[in-house]
C-alpha cells in the first residue's frame, strides 16, 4: 500500500503473523476436495486461502421437507424420501436421460439423470435396494420425478439436514465441494482472545468468534441468513472494527506527524463577516470553529468539510484560509477545473478585498511574465491566498509559508498530488481541509473518510430560494420551449443539460450539439454551448458570456455539475433526466436557486419510464435535502455505485453491508477510537486480541503503523 503520510518515515516492517493463524493462510488446495481445477474456480470468487473461504458465507438456503410416504409429496418441493430402487431405463438414444423408477408402496418416483455413466448410476441405485433421496420433486406428465438428486444415501447414513446452506459457486465448484472445504477450514479456526468489548458482546448477545463462524456456516433457518442474525452481525462487526481500527491508527499517525500551530486573532475574519449581507449559519460557524481548533493545535489537521449544494462551503474555506493568514502564513484553495478555479477567484475577490488580503489565481492558462510575477510574489509572501488548479503542483510553484491547503472535490486529486501539495510547506506539511459538494450518507463517509475529522454543513444560508421541480414527458418539449421563450423574453437565464456530447448508436440519448443547433434556431444568438471536449478557451468564453448576460441559454453536458455559479440563472432543464443518477440530478438542480429570483427545474423523461427512473424523479420532486437524497440513492443503488466504484475508496467487505448496517459502522468507529485513546500501544489483553484481528483481516497498513509504535 502507498504511504500517503507527508513528511513521515515509513513504518518499520512488522513482526510476523501470529503462528496460530498460519493454517488459515495456507493455499486453498490444502483443503480436502480442492484440486487445481477447484482452486482456479475458487480464485474467481476471490478465495485463495482457507481464511477467504471462512469469510464467504452462504447466501441462500434450501428447506428440505422429510416426507414419510411418496403419496404425501406436494410437488414442486424439495423433499427427502425413503424408496426402494426399481427398474433402470437407460437412454434409447444419445442425449436422452437415464431414468430409474423407485417406489415405496404408496406411490412411484422417477429419478432422472443426464449424461450419467452406467457404472456410477447402477452403483448408486442398485435395483431392489433401499435408498434415501433428497432433491427437488416436480410433476412431469402428471408423474412425480426428481432430476439429479442432491443426496443419495443409505438408510444407515446420517440424513440430509432439514435446512441446507447454499454457497456462491463458480466454474467447476459444487455445493458439496464448498461444504466439505468449509467444514475443513472451520477445523483450522484457532482459539483467540476476544477483541470485542465484553459489555458490547453481552448487550448484543453475540457469540464468540469461533462460534460465530461455525454458526454462520451452519444456518438452521432463513432467519440465520439475515444480516441481523447474531453470528452474522458479530462477524460483520469484526470486519468493520478492523477497518475502523486501521483508520483510527492512520488518523493518530497523521496527528503525530510534523504539524504547526496556526492561531489567528480573528481580525481578518471579522472584516469579512461585517461585509456579508447576512450572518453565517450555525453550521458554518460550527465548522469554522472546528477548523480553528484543529489549526491552533500542534498536530496537522486533516478534516473533511461536507456540505449540500448551496450550504456555503466557500465561505467556510475562505474564513479557514484567513486563519492561516492571521497567523502570518499563506493558504491555497485547489479546484479540479479551470472554470471552477476562476469562479472561486471571482467569488472570493470582493471578500478578500474586504479583509485587506491579496488573492491570486494560478491555472495552466497563465503564461509568461504574468505567471512569473505570480510565482515571485507567492515565494516572497506578497500573495496571501492562492486559488489554483493542478498547475500549483508544479515544482517551480513555491510558497513563502504555506499553512493551510483547501482541496475542493478531493476525489479528483490523487494521493501523489496531495503529497506534492503537502511538500509545499517549508516548516511542516500544511493543515489540510478537504471539501466535497456531494452529500454522502454517514455510513459511507465513515468508511471512506474515517481517518479524517468530519464537519458537516447541514443548513442553507438565508437568501437561498426553494426550487420548484417539475417532471414532464419529453412529448411536452414544445410546451417547455414555449415557456422558456416567454421567460427569456423577460431577461431570465437558463441551463439546458443533455446527457451526451455526440449521438451514440448504443445509447439513445440526445446529443448536446444536436440540441444546441435546434435551440439556436429557435432563440438565435442568445444560446451558447459548453461541453468537456471543447477547448478550454472556447468553454470559458461561453461561460463568461452566460455569466455576464450576453447569452441567456447555456446548453451543456454535466461539465456544469459542480461549481458553476451564476446567481441570475433561474431555470434548469434536464433532458432524459431518467438516465442520470439521483446525486447527479441534485447537483445539476443546485446550479439554480442561487440568487433572489424564484427558480424552476424541469426534469424531462422519455417514455416508457422504468420503476427505478420513476422513483428517482419522484424523490427529486419531493425534496431538496441532499442528505436524504443521498440516503435514498444508497438504498436504490448500493455503496459502490453511489460513490463510483473505481474511485470510491471504499473497502471491500465480505460480510458487512454498509447500506444495511450503518449503525454497526458508527459503533465500530467510536469503539476503535476509544480503545486507542485508552490503550495507545494496544498492549492490554483486548489490545493484543485486536492485533490478531487485524492480522486475520489483512489490515496491512494498520499492522505497519502498530509496528512503528
Burial of 591 (0-12, 13-18, 19+ CB in 10 A): buried
* Judgement on whether residues 366 and 280 belong to the same structural domain of the protein: yes
Report the C-alpha gap between 266 and 264 in whole angstroms. Answer: 6
pLDDT at 3: 37
Average pLDDT, the chain: 86
**pLDDT confidence bin for 410, thresholds 50/70/90:** low
Looking at per-residue confidence, does 661 or 558 come out higher? 661
* Judgement on whether residues 442 and 387 belong to the same structural domain of the protein: yes
* Judgement on whether residues 571 and 519 belong to the same structural domain of the protein: yes
> Could you tell me which residues are beta bridge partners of residue 165?
61
Is residue 521, in this structure, part of any structural domain at all? yes
* Judgement on whether residues 429 and 546 belong to the same structural domain of the protein: no
Report the C-alpha gap between 67 and 607 in whole angstroms. Answer: 51
Query: In 126-275, at which residue ranges do the beta strands (DSSP E only) sit?
Result: 130-140, 143-147, 151-153, 163-166
Mean pLDDT of 278-297: 94
pLDDT beyond 80 at 421: no
pLDDT beyond 70 at 282: yes
pLDDT beyond 90 at 603: yes
Most confident of 88-97, 181-190, 298-307: 181-190
pLDDT beyond 90 at 495: yes
Query: In 222-376, at which residue ranges do the beta strands (DSSP E only) sit?
Result: 302-307, 330-334, 359-362
- Whether the full predicted model's pTM is greater than 0.75, yes or no, is no
Is residue 303, in this structure, part of any structural domain at all? yes
- Of 15-19, 92-96, 412-416, 662-666, least confident by mean pLDDT is 412-416
Is residue 313, in this structure, part of any structural domain at all? yes
Q: Which of 581, 661, 664, 665 is nearest to 629 (CA)?
A: 581
Contacts of 122-126 with CB under 8 Å at 24 or more apart are 122/88, 124/152, 125/85, 125/88, 125/100, 125/152, 126/85
Domain extent at residue 140 = 61-166
**Helix (H) or strand (E) run with residue 182 in it:** helix 175-187
Most confident of 12-16, 145-149, 535-539, 665-669: 145-149
* Judgement on whether residues 479 and 395 belong to the same structural domain of the protein: no
**pLDDT confidence bin for 639, thresholds 50/70/90:** very low
**pLDDT confidence bin for 21, thresholds 50/70/90:** very high
Report the C-alpha gap between 358 and 365 in whole angstroms. Answer: 20
Q: Which of 112, 107, 111 is nearest to 132 (CA)?
A: 111
pLDDT beyond 90 at 73: yes
* Domain CATH code at residue 91: 2.40.50.140
Mean pLDDT of 519-529: 93
Is residue 326, in this structure, part of any structural domain at all? yes
> First CA to last CA across the chain, in angstroms?
19
Report the C-alpha gap between 154 and 148 in whole angstroms. Answer: 17
Is residue 520, in this structure, part of any structural domain at all? yes
Report the C-alpha gap between 354 and 269 in whole angstroms. Answer: 10
Is residue 506, in this structure, part of any structural domain at all? yes
Looking at per-residue confidence, does 350 or 259 come out higher? 350
pLDDT at 463: 66
Report the C-alpha gap between 301 and 357 in whole angstroms. Answer: 23
**Helix (H) or strand (E) run with residue 77 in it:** strand 77-89
pLDDT beyond 60 at 4: no
Mean pLDDT of 425-433: 86
Contact at 8 Å (CB) between 214 and 186?
yes
Report the C-alpha gap between 20 and 26 in whole angstroms. Answer: 12
Domain limit, last residue, from 599, 623, 647? 623
Mean pLDDT of 3-12: 34
- Of 159-173, 280-294, 349-363, 398-412, least confident by mean pLDDT is 398-412
**pLDDT confidence bin for 539, thresholds 50/70/90:** confident
pLDDT tens profile 438-463: 767 666 666 666 667 888 888 877 76
342 Cα distance to chain centroid: 30
* Judgement on whether residues 290 and 403 belong to the same structural domain of the protein: yes
Report the C-alpha gap between 586 and 309 in whole angstroms. Answer: 8
**Helix (H) or strand (E) run with residue 635 in it:** helix 626-637
- Of 256-265, 295-304, 483-492, 613-622, least confident by mean pLDDT is 256-265
Is residue 708, in this structure, part of any structural domain at all? no
Number of domains observed in the structure of the chain: 3
Mean pLDDT of 284-294: 96
Proportion of the chain above pLDDT 90, given as a percent: 54
* Judgement on whether residues 443 and 551 belong to the same structural domain of the protein: no
pLDDT at 331: 96
Domain limit, last residue, from 601, 623, 645? 623
Domain limit, last residue, from 409, 429, 457? 457
pLDDT tens profile 29-71: 999 999 999 999 999 999 999 999 999 999 999 899 999 999 9
pLDDT beyond 90 at 509: no
* Domain CATH code at residue 532: 3.40.50.300
Task: Write the CB contacts of 541 (distance below 8 Å, at least 6 apart in sequence).
Answer: none
pLDDT at 49: 94
Is residue 296, in this structure, part of any structural domain at all? yes
pLDDT beyond 80 at 510: no
**pLDDT confidence bin for 552, thresholds 50/70/90:** very high
pLDDT at 640: 44
pLDDT tens profile 321-354: 999 999 999 999 998 888 788 888 988 999 999 9
User: Distances in Å between the alpha carbon of 180 and those of 29, 111, 154, 167, 184?
Assistant: 13, 25, 19, 12, 6
* Judgement on whether residues 489 and 438 belong to the same structural domain of the protein: no
pLDDT tens profile 210-233: 999 999 999 999 999 999 999 999
Mean pLDDT of 380-389: 95
Report the C-alpha gap between 548 and 525 in whole angstroms. Answer: 14
Contact at 8 Å (CB) between 668 and 660?
no
* Judgement on whether residues 70 and 153 belong to the same structural domain of the protein: yes
**pLDDT confidence bin for 9, thresholds 50/70/90:** very low
* Judgement on whether residues 420 and 551 belong to the same structural domain of the protein: no
pLDDT at 695: 92
pLDDT at 685: 94
* Judgement on whether residues 411 and 558 belong to the same structural domain of the protein: no
pLDDT at 441: 67
pLDDT at 512: 80
pLDDT at 270: 96
Q: Angle 338-355/313-326 helices, nearest 10 degrees?
A: 60
- Of 305-319, 392-406, 489-503, least confident by mean pLDDT is 489-503
* Judgement on whether residues 293 and 415 belong to the same structural domain of the protein: yes
Amino acid at each position: 500500500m502507498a504511504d500517503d503520510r507527508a513528511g513521515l518515515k515509513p513504518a518499520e516492517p512488522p513482526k510476523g503473523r501470529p503462528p496460530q493463524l498460519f493454517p488459515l493462510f495456507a493455499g486453498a488446495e490444502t483443503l480436502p476436495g480442492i484440486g487445481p481445477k477447484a482452486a482456479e474456480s475458487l480464485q474467481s470468487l476471490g478465495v485463495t486461502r482457507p481464511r477467504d473461504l471462512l469469510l464467504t458465507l452462504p447466501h441462500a438456503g434450501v428447506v428440505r421437507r422429510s416426507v414419510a410416504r411418496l403419496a404425501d409429496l406436494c410437488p414442486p418441493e424439495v423433499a427427502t424420501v425413503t424408496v426402494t430402487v426399481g427398474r433402470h431405463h437407460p437412454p434409447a438414444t444419445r442425449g436422452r436421460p437415464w431414468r430409474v423408477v423407485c417406489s415405496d408402496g404408496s406411490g412411484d418416483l422417477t429419478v432422472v439423470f443426464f449424461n450419467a455413466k452406467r457404472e456410477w448410476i447402477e452403483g448408486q441405485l442398485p435395483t431392489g435396494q433401499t435408498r434415501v433421496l433428497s432433491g427437488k420433486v416436480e410433476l412431469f406428465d402428471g408423474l412425480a420425478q426428481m432430476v439429479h438428486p442432491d443426496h443419495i444415501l443409505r438408510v444407515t447414513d446420517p440424513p440430509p439436514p432439514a435446512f441446507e446452506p447454499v454457497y456462491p459457486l463458480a466454474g467447476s465448484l459444487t455445493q458439496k465441494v464448498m461444504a466439505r472445504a468449509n467444514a475443513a477450514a472451520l477445523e483450522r479456526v484457532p482459539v483467540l482472545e476476544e477483541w470485542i468489548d465484553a459489555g458490547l458482546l453481552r448487550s448484543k448477545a453475540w457469540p464468540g468468534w469461533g462460534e460465530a463462524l461455525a454458526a454462520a456456516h451452519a444456518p438452521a433457518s432463513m432467519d440465520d441468513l439475515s444480516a441481523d442474525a447474531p453470528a452474522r452481525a458479530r462477524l460483520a462487526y469484526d470486519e468493520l472494527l478492523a477497518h475502523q481500527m486501521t483508520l483510527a491508527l492512520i488518523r493518530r499517525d497523521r496527528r503525530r506527524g510534523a504539524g504547526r500551530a496556526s492561531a489567528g486573532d480573528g481580525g481578518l475574519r471579522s472584516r469579512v463577516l461585517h461585509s456579508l449581507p447576512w450572518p453565517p449559519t450555525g453550521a458554518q460557524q460550527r465548522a469554522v470553529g472546528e477548523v480553528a481548533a484543529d489549526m491552533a493545535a500542534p498536530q496537522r489537521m486533516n478534516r473533511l468539510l461536507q456540505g449540500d449544494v448551496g450550504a456555503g462551503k466557500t465561505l467556510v474555506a475562505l474564513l479557514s484560509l484567513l486563519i492561516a493568514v492571521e497567523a502570518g502564513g499563506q493558504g491555497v484553495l485547489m479546484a479540479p477545473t479551470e472554470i471552477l478555479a476562476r469562479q472561486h477567484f471571482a467569488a472570493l475577490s470582493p471578500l478578500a478585498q474586504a479583509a485587506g488580503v491579496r488573492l491570486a489565481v494560478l491555472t495552466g492558462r497563465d503564461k509568461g511574465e504574468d505567471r512569473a510575477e505570480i510565482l515571485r510574489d507567492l515565494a516572497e509572501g506578497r500573495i496571501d491566498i492562492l486559488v489554483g488548479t493542478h498547475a500549483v503542483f508544479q515544482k517551480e510553484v513555491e510558497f513563502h509559508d504555506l499553512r493551510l491547503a483547501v482541496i475542493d472535490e478531493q476525489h479528483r486529486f490523487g494521493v501523489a498530488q496531495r503529497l506534492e501539495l503537502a511538500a509545499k510547506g517549508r516548516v511542516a506539511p500544511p493543515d489540510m481541509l478537504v471539501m466535497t459538494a456531494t452529500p454522502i450518507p454517514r455510513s459511507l463517509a465513515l468508511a471512506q473518510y474515517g481517518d479524517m475529522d468530519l464537519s458537516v454543513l447541514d443548513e442553507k444560508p438565508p437568501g437561498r430560494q426553494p426550487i420548484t421541480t417539475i417532471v414532464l414527458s419529453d412529448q411536452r418539449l414544445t410546451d417547455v420551449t414555449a415557456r422558456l421563450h416567454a421567460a427569456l423574453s423577460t431577461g431570465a437565464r437558463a441551463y439546458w443539460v443533455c446527457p451526451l456530447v455526440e449521438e451514440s448508436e448504443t445509447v439513445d440519448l440526445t446529443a448536446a450539439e444536436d440540441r444546441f443547433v435546434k435551440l439556436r434556431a429557435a432563440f438565435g444568438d442568445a444560446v451558447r454551448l459548453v461541453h468537456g471536449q471543447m477547448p478550454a478557451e472556447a468553454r470559458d468564453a461561453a461561460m463568461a458570456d452566460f455569466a455576464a448576460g450576453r447569452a441567456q441559454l447555456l446548453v451543456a453536458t454535466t461539465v456544469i455539475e459542480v461549481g458553476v455559479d451564476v446567481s441570475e440563472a433561474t431555470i434548469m432543464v434536464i433532458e432524459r433526466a431518467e438516465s442520470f443518477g439521483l446525486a447527479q440530478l441534485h447537483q445539476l438542480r443546485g446550479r439554480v436557486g442561487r440568487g433572489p429570483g424564484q427558480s424552476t427545474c424541469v426534469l424531462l423523461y422519455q417514455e416508457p419510464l422504468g420503476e427505478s427512473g420513476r422513483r428517482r424523479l419522484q424523490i427529486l420532486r419531493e425534496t431538496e435535502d441532499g442528505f436524504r437524497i443521498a440516503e435514498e440513492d444508497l438504498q436504490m443503488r448500493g455503496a459502490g455505485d453511489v460513490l463510483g466504484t473505481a474511485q470510491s475508496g471504499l473497502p471491500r467487505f465480505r460480510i458487512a453491508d454498509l447500506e444495511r448496517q450503518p449503525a454497526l459502522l458508527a459503533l465500530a468507529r467510536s469503539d476503535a477510537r476509544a480503545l486507542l485513546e485508552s490503550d495507545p500501544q494496544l498492549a492490554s489483553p483486548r489490545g493484543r486480541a485486536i492485533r490478531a484481528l487485524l492480522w486475520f483481516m489483512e489490515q496491512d497498513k494498520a499492522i505497519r503503523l502498530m509496528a512503528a509504535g
